Every structure is written in C-alpha cells, then in structure tokens.
Amino acid sequence: MSSKEQWATRVGLVLAMAGNAVGLGNFLRFPAQAAQNGGGAFLIPYLVSFALMGIPLLWVEWAIGRHGGIYGYHSTPGMFHVMGEQSWLKYIGVFGIFTNLTIAAYYCYIESWTLSYVFHSLIGTFAQTDPKIFFSDYVGETAHSLFAFPLEAGIWFLITLALNIWILSKGLAKGIEMAAKIGMPLLILFAIILVVRGLTLPEGAPGVVQSPLDGLNFVWNPKLEGLTQPTTWLAAAGQIFFTLSLGMGAIHCYASYVSKRSDIALNAASAGWMNEFVEVILGGSLLIPIATAYMGLGAVQSATAGGGGFSLGFLSLPTLFNNWGWFAPIAGAMWFGLLFFAGITSSLAMGQPIMAYFQDEHEMSREKSAWLFGVSILILGLFCVWLYPGGAFDEYDFWSGTFSLVVFALLEVFIFSFVFGIDKGWKEITRGADIRVPKIFRFIIKYITPVFILVVFIGALIQPAEGNWILACQSLMSGDSWPFAANSVIGKLFHVGVDSAWFTSEGMGTKVMVQDITRLLLFALFAGIAVMIYLDFRRKGGSR
C-alpha cells in the first residue's frame, strides 16, 4: 500500500484536474441547458450554485484526497476508512470505484465516436453522407433490434481504450499530466478558432440564414421569470454538479498524489474556474451560434428542447461545416478533436482511481493495473455497445453518471462535516493554502452545501412531469397522486409512462427488459465491489 508517484508540476496538476472536469457536457449540454432554462438568467442560479456547492465540494474532495494520500490511500475506500473509527466508512468508498468504472465504460464509447468523427471529418465522409444516417449505421441502430455489434464502432472503441491504457500505464507525470498539458491547450485553441469563425459569419455568406449573434442571444437573453421556477434552479445546480465531475472519486484520487507540503485551496479554485471558462465562455459561444447561422433559430430551439446538444453536435454540425469550403474538414476535425481531448482527459481521471485501488490494496504494478482497468472497461463497455439500441447506454448514464454521483456527494459532505469533523476538515482545506479561504465557507460547507445537494437529490428523485412543481403540488393537495416525470429517479425505477413488460406479445424482448438487466448488472457490480473491499481489508488484518 504505497505509491511514490507525484505530480511533476503544479501547472500539470491543475490542467489535469481541469481536464477531468472539462468534458463533452461543457460544449454539448451547457449551452442547451442555459438556453432552455432562462437564457442569461440561468447564469444567476448557475453562479450561485458554483459558489455554494461547486467550490465548497471541490475543496472537500481535494481535502479528503490529500488526507487519504498522507496515509498511503489513493482511492476512496481507504480514504474514507481513515476519516473516522466507524467500520462502515470504507464502504462509502464503493461509490468512488463503481462510478468511475461504469462511467468510463460508456464514456470511452462516446470518446471513441469523437475520435472516429475526427477521422471521418478529415477524409470528407460528411461531405457525402448525411451525419444522421451515418450515426445510425455507426452505432447499429438501423438494425431495428435491441442488440447490435457495429464493427467500425467496436474497432474505434478498442483503439480509444488502447490509447487510454497506454497513457495510464506511462504513469501520473509522464502519462496523465503530459496528456493534460497537450490536450487542454489544444482544446482551448480549437475552441477559440471555432468560436471566432462562428461568431464572425457574415449574413449573406453561403448557407447562412440568420446571424450567429441571434444564437448567442438565445443563450444569453435573460428570461427573468425563469428565476422563479424551481426547475431552473435544479437545472443550474445539476449542471454545476456534473460539469465539475463532483461525486466521482476522481478528484480525490488526483489530490491524493499532492505532496503533503502543497496547497489545495488555490489549486482547486484554479481548476474549477478554468472549467467555468471553458464551459461558459467557449462552450456557450460555439455550438448554438454556428447552428443558428445555418439552421435558423427555430430549428435550434427544437433541437435543444430536451436540454442537450448531442443532436446538434453530432448530427447537424458536421453537415454545417460543409459550408466552410476548404476549411470544412479542418473545422470538423477541430470540433471533434476538442471533444476528444475533453473526453480523454476525463476518462483518464476515471481510470486512475481504479488503478490506484489495485496498486494500493494488491500491490499491483502500474502496467498491470492499467491493463486490468482496460479489460474491465472492455467487458462493461461491450455490454453497452452491444445493447446500445436497447437502451443500456442510457441506463449506465442515468444510474452511474447521474444518480450515483449525487448520492456519493451527499454522503461525503456529511461525513466530512460530521464524522471527520468540520474543525479537522477546515484545517485540512486551509493547510498550506496559497489563498485565504474566507471563513464563511466553513459554515457553507457544514450547512449550506449539504442542503443544496439534498435539494438536488430530492429534485431528481421526485421530479414532476413536465417539470411543473406547482401543478404537481396542487395535484397532491387535491388528493391525487404525485405525477412523477418519466426521467425522475422514481419514474425511471418504476418505468413510469411505459409498458413494463419484458416481452412483446410475439415473444420478443423489449427495451424494458434490457433496462432491467442493465440495472441488475450495475447492482451486482456495486455489490461485488463492496465484497472485494470487505475481503481486501480483512486480508490486511484490519479488525475494523
């Protein structure tokens, strides 16, 4: 249970942490969420959530990580184990292994799409083929089946996985840190080029139907009535939560390699604000303005109605770039390239905690643990690839990429404040700090942040149909049942709004069957990790 690995430079650490936070959601999800939840007014609850939940949780996770690292633990089970005397604490760390493993499985698959799309942009595929048809073929959706084994998607998935394993096996400084030092500047450079090109598209240029500034206006025009809607606040808090990669165990892991002599307060703040720069300034100015210029605002509004920008980013933008003449393949490669860099810096952060666990608890070499991570992701990922048309991908995303994060964050902030103790916790955050952390954050961490996360959790748990909380309350008051939204946790769990039968009348399997089997797999995995932790800690002779 020892690791001599350290970050080579402070800048490298901050870039790696920022790279962990910056993901595809910065460019695809944020602009759509902002546009659909009050426009410029969305930024008010967004920044409030960043101050009251984002930054405090970043400090908590960095502090837990560095504290665990002092005792030789670089993954969450050990880190929580040394936070108090209770024997159950180590099992909270199951989340930090489970979420990284399962998110990496489907995230590497999306990452492989971006890599493949870089290639197809460069060879001009999208000049001849409609990206919508291309995508359906690519993931095997056209087979009209619950199952698919798309050959090309599978090959790109393997390439992406091999790249992740190779970088991870090179080590913290020579692998992850180097990837962040290359990937993050390139990502920012590509984004700046595309933002400038997109926002300066003149009306009357080939294909341009509307000013790109109308798209920017769609993102930024404040609809102040949105501030009175609980949905807007929940969406803003949720976005902050996911964009900073909180509640995963990846931040803890990276921070555990920080020298005991080093600052964490400034590093955490710097990485957090860098993520905001990429998300709000670059992410908010790229996708929607370009799409508006070529598709018109009406089409963009309907494409982002669900609060996501996936269809614009993958299905529309490749065609729109064709209007840029000789620059089209380069623009496509830059767009998907920046998404790839955003993806790989995040997936590496998911790999490290898994490897760290096996290095700490089984004294496994870095290379071996990198391979073990790769094989695990391959097995879990292939399940996702194979059952993509049946909805396995969405199940992974919901239960591990959304639900599990919030639960873990809620538990960790509670443990940090009330089990570890806010006095020790505050000392841990401020030890060696290169900035003065305002004392008000001690109160915020103990009381405000847990309440904030609890509200997000309850909001996700019982979100009403169409997000209409007032109507739902009225419905409850009048003696009717609470109208759970299909995408609320309870709605998902009980398949609200869909027939929950596993088989059709013809005896064919349904999507519900795939969803339930996927849930069983995820639950079994979670339980399996808990058993592994029990056995590993017992083997080490710990009585607790």
Partner 1 sequence: MTPAAWIMLIITWSIIVYFTAKFFWKVLKTPHALKTEEQIEEHLDDEQQEMP
Contacts to partner 1 by CB under 8 A: 9-11, 14, 39-41, 43, 47, 67, 70, 82, 84-85, 213-214, 216-217, 220-222, 260-263, 266-267, 269-270, 273-274, 276-277, 280-281, 424, 427, 431-432, 434-435, 544
Helix (H, G, I), strand (E, B) or coil at 494: coil
| Residues contacting 231, CB < 8 A, separation 6+ | 37, 467, 468, 469
Choice between 217 and 475, CB closer to partner 1:
217
Q: Measuring CA to CA, how many Å separate 24 from each of 28, 29, 91, 311, 465?
A: 6, 8, 30, 13, 27
Choice between 70 and 471, CB closer to partner 1:
70
Choice between 427 and 500, CB closer to partner 1:
427
Q: Angle at the Cα of 278 (from 277 to 283), degrees rounded to 5?
A: 120
Choice between 363 and 434, CB closer to partner 1:
434
Shortest reach from residue 211's CB to partner 1, in Å: 9
- Distance between CA atoms of residues 54 and 265, nearest Å: 13
Phi and psi at 148, nearest 5°, equal -155, 145
Shortest reach from residue 188's CB to partner 1, in Å: 11
Choice between 101 and 216, CB closer to partner 1:
216
Shortest reach from residue 224's CB to partner 1, in Å: 9
* Alpha helices for 200-323 (secondary structure H): 212-220, 230-243, 250-255, 265-276, 287-295, 297-303, 310, 317-320
Choice between 132 and 431, CB closer to partner 1:
431
- Distance between CA atoms of residues 170 and 175, nearest Å: 5
Q: Angle at the Cα of 265 (from 279 to 249), degrees rounded to 5?
A: 65
Shortest reach from residue 249's CB to partner 1, in Å: 22
Helix (H, G, I), strand (E, B) or coil at 435: coil
- Distance between CA atoms of residues 235 and 315, nearest Å: 24
Enumerate the β-bridge partners of residue 464: 484
Shortest reach from residue 435's CB to partner 1, in Å: 7
Choice between 90 and 492, CB closer to partner 1:
90
Choice between 274 and 356, CB closer to partner 1:
274
Task: Give the residue carrying structure tokens 């039968």.
Answer: 501
Choice between 92 and 274, CB closer to partner 1:
274
Shortest reach from residue 207's CB to partner 1, in Å: 21
Nearest Cα residue to 350 out of 46, 530, 110? 110
DSSP calls for 60-122: HHHHHHHHHHHTT--SHHHHHHTT-S-TTHHHHTHHHHHHHHHHHHHHHHHHHHHHHHHHHHH
Shortest reach from residue 156's CB to partner 1, in Å: 33
Q: Measuring CA to CA, how many Å separate 414 from each of 61, 265, 305?
A: 12, 20, 35
Q: What is the four-CA torsion angle of 179, 182, 184, 189, rounded to 10 degrees?
A: -160
Shortest reach from residue 421's CB to partner 1, in Å: 9
Shortest reach from residue 128's CB to partner 1, in Å: 36
Choice between 250 and 269, CB closer to partner 1:
269
Choice between 87 and 474, CB closer to partner 1:
87
Shortest reach from residue 297's CB to partner 1, in Å: 13
- Distance between CA atoms of residues 19 and 342, nearest Å: 7
Shortest reach from residue 43's CB to partner 1, in Å: 5
